[in-house]
Structure 1
Amino acid sequence: MAVRQREPGYFADDSMIRRVMSKRAVGLTYGVRALVIGAVHPLLFVGTSEHTAHRTTPYTRLAVTGALFEAVFLGTKTEADRALAFTRRKHATVVGALPEDAGAHHPAGTSYAALDPHLMYMTMAFTLDSAEAMYDRLVRDLTSTEREDLYQDYVRWAELFGMPRSAAPADYPSFRRGFDTYLHSDELFLTEEAALVGSYLAGHRKAYRLPAPAEQVGSALYLLVQGSLPPRIRHLYGIEWGLADELAHRALCRSIRTAHLAPPLAPRVLAGALAGPSTPSYQLLARREQHMVRAGRASMPGVDPRNWIQRHGA
């Protein structure tokens, strides 16, 4: 009987982007980290928060975004095209201006648009940086050649969403120099809402205690994310990070990296648990959040369910 061939995706099975993003240790952590760091970019944060339908369900928004991204990373061309078309429809309506000052570089009235080439590039930059950081910590260190290949794959990924190739640096070293310079610049600014949302996402602020083992899993995730943040980002959020925190973070990273060594006698099920799509896990988180909101409990207490225009009647 003939074996049915799997429909190809936009990226080959041996491409770096698939090799990196198929690791669940990356898939379950990079998105949270990217949102926490990306919140320091006022145009990205405000543009998203003012136009999202998930102000009261931010983890559901994370799950939706993760599924869309993963469809392009790991899915077939049909699955990717469906995700890309959905995203383009949503992005077409994300146009506006900052309602208030957001630091010296972003005064009130500064315009934003989801389809702005530079903002599309910055979205890619935060995502790539987080995927790279979590792979290095939780799987193994990438080689210079692998970093270049991963970067070029990410540029292609961003192009599929509509970013022009000219919006991104030509190679990985240029990207790394530019992005690191940005992270050390005075352009970074956390609005009051961004600081609150980012603090929840990073686990710096917790609204509720979860039942075991969810509480332990959540604490481990927060430790991984907080420990991976650049020191300046932790400082902006007011996250204190001492020697004990650093040692705990390194120990947890080391244990996860060890699991990825896949010793010959390790059960086959272990390899299966370490790789594959992370969307189902995000969907579990989203369903829990939606159940909590239906029960009258805020997902992130203190975050106004209304956007700026609704609050001020503008």
Structure 2
Amino acid sequence: MTDDGYFPRGRSLLRAVHEERLVGLHYGQRALAIGALDPRNFVGTIQSSSGRLAPFRRLSRTAAAFETVFFGTRAEADRLLERVDRMHQRVDGELPVDSGPFPAGTHYSAFDPELMLWTVAVIADSGQRFYELFVRELTDDEREALWQDYRRFGALFGMPLGSAPATYGDFRAWWERRLASDRMHLTPEARYTGRAIAFEIPMPNMHGAAKRLHDLVMLGSLPPRVRELYGLPWAPSQARRWRAVVAAMRAGRRLAPTRVARGSCRRNYELVAAIERKRLRNGRPTPQVPAAGELSAGVAAE
């Protein structure tokens, strides 16, 4: 018997979505920026990893790990999942300061079903968002199949299926309620870090016009509520430019050879981590996550 993995090529919508390199190169930044809107998720992640001093190394490691589950054999995925489970055992603590609707002392855990669902949700929304922007719109049946794949993905990491919306329609209704709720809150540290993750990724040649295009694509992909909470302006002129850039990227993707348009982004992730390491060695770190309470109210309001 062959080991086709948990998401076999040709049968899994999740695999089809994440094999698109334009998805793989963008979804993680967006997911982390949105994920930071839950203070328990943000603080739990930062307090329990090396992500505070090297946030892009953490992003790169996480994206590569997800590719192992997306594309690897079951044996490869199972080994990775065992390591992640051991790491998640350490993600258990309390918020050190008041964070919007969550008072200091609020408990967080990597095994909290609500937080597990939130983590899967920001990935699911981001993966679908970029696929439909750069490749094509999915049919209703495909969206349902994709959500069921994301439910399975979450379950592999220990998310109880009973805690996740049962259908795609249920997921969308839950997602809209969650984004609109007063439980969405950015601490000053989360606002600083989320913006840096979305708009300061260390990539070669990511400056000038290329950086402006990247930032515009990322900004336009965010839900309006998320832009509002981050204080990110979005004018009609930006929206017009964004639509033109997305259309050009979609056209370019259609013209690109399959080996360029589809496949693993692991080399890109490794490059991001390598550039961050070099900057750290040279005393030019990429934005680092401040400790809780480290940012002044003035900086937070910027």
TM-score, normalising length: structure 1: 0.88
Q: Corresponding residue for 1:11? A: 7
The answer on whether the counterparts of 2:189 and 2:292 sit within 8 Å (CA) in structure 1 is no
Q: Which of the numbers 212, 216, 232 marks the counterpart of 1:223?
A: 216
Residue 276 of structure 1: how far off its partner (Å): 0.2
Q: Corresponding residue for 2:103? A: 107
The answer on whether the counterparts of 1:99 and 1:308 sit within 8 Å (CA) in structure 2 is no
User: In structure 2, what is the Cα distance between the partners aligned to 1:73 and 1:215?
Assistant: 34
Q: Does residue 1:174 correspond to 2:167, yes or no?
A: no
Query: Which segment drifts farther, 127-136 or 5-14?
Result: 5-14
Q: Does residue 1:51 correspond to 2:86, yes or no?
A: no
The answer on whether the counterparts of 1:49 and 1:307 sit within 8 Å (CA) in structure 2 is no
The number of equivalent residue pairs is 293
Deviations 1:170-229 (A, max 9, x none): 1110010011111011111001100000111222xx599x87465544433222111010
Q: Corresponding residue for 1:159? A: 155
Q: Does residue 1:36 correspond to 2:30, yes or no?
A: no
Residue 16 of structure 1: how far off its partner (Å): 0.2
Q: Does residue 1:286 correspond to 2:273, yes or no?
A: yes
User: In structure 2, what is the Cα distance between the partners aligned to 1:257 and 1:155?
Assistant: 28
Alignment of 1:7-156 (within 5 A): 7-14=3-10, 15-104=12-101, 106-156=102-152
The code of the aligned residue for 1:296 comes to: G
- Residues 308 and 234 of structure 1: CA distance in aligned 2, closer, same or farther (over 3 Å): closer
Give the fraction of aligned pairs with identical amino acids, expressed as a percent: 41
The code of the aligned residue for 2:16 comes to: R
User: In structure 2, what is the Cα distance between the partners aligned to 1:30 and 1:83?
Assistant: 21
Q: Corresponding residue for 1:241? A: 234
Q: Does residue 1:198 correspond to 2:185, yes or no?
A: no
- Structure 2 gaps of 5+ residues are 295-302
Residue 22 of structure 1: how far off its partner (Å): 0.4
The code of the aligned residue for 1:182 comes to: R
Residue 79 of structure 1: how far off its partner (Å): 2.0
The answer on whether the counterparts of 1:207 and 1:300 sit within 8 Å (CA) in structure 2 is no
User: In structure 2, what is the Cα distance between the partners aligned to 1:274 and 1:207?
Assistant: 21
Structure whose alpha-carbon radius of gyration is higher: 1
SS for the counterpart of 1:54 is helix
User: In structure 2, what is the Cα distance between the partners aligned to 1:222 and 1:89?
Assistant: 35
User: In structure 2, what is the Cα distance between the partners aligned to 1:131 and 1:295?
Assistant: 34
The answer on whether the counterparts of 2:95 and 2:107 sit within 8 Å (CA) in structure 1 is yes
SS for the counterpart of 2:93 is strand
The code of the aligned residue for 2:35 comes to: G
User: In structure 1, what is the Cα distance between the partners aligned to 2:204 and 2:7?
Assistant: 39
Residue 291 of structure 1: how far off its partner (Å): 0.5
The code of the aligned residue for 1:276 comes to: G
SS for the counterpart of 2:287 is coil
- Residues 179 and 224 of structure 1: CA distance in aligned 2, closer, same or farther (over 3 Å): same
Q: Which of the numbers 237, 251, 259 marks the counterpart of 2:252?
A: 259
